[in-house]
Amino acid sequence: MERSELIKKGHSIKPTVIVGKAGLTENMELEIRAQLESRELIKVKMLGSMGPSSTWKKDIESLSQRIKATVVEIKGGTILLFKRSSKKKK
């Protein structure tokens, strides 16, 4: 799926993962993995308590590499992530 299509689809979905002061913990990573497997396209909302965006953007990039997901878009404190499900037919 093209990036522009993913962004267009992403406009209509609400954030399903909210990351607060604790940051991207192991449990948060597991939740993101599970949601990507079932939905493929999710929004992650980073709350202001996460601190400067320069820090959490590096964390998101690192996470996306570990879980082999694509950061489709970062807009404000909202990240759109995509990963093709291993269960769905290609």
pLDDT tens for the chain, 90 residues: list them: 799 999 999 999 999 999 988 888 999 999 999 999 999 999 999 998 777 777 888 999 999 999 999 999 999 899 999 999 988 655
Residue 89 lies in a domain: no
Residue 38 lies in a domain: yes
In this prediction, residue 23 carries a pLDDT of: 86
Residue 88 lies in a domain: no
Residue 41 lies in a domain: yes
Residue 63 lies in a domain: yes
Neighbour-count burial for 10-20, b at 16+ CB within 10 Å, e otherwise: beeeeeebebe
Domain count, the chain: 1
In this prediction, residue 30 carries a pLDDT of: 96
In this prediction, residue 51 carries a pLDDT of: 72
> Which CATH number characterizes residue 59's domain?
3.30.110.60
Which residue range(s) make up the domain with 10?
A: 3-82
The pTM score is: 0.90
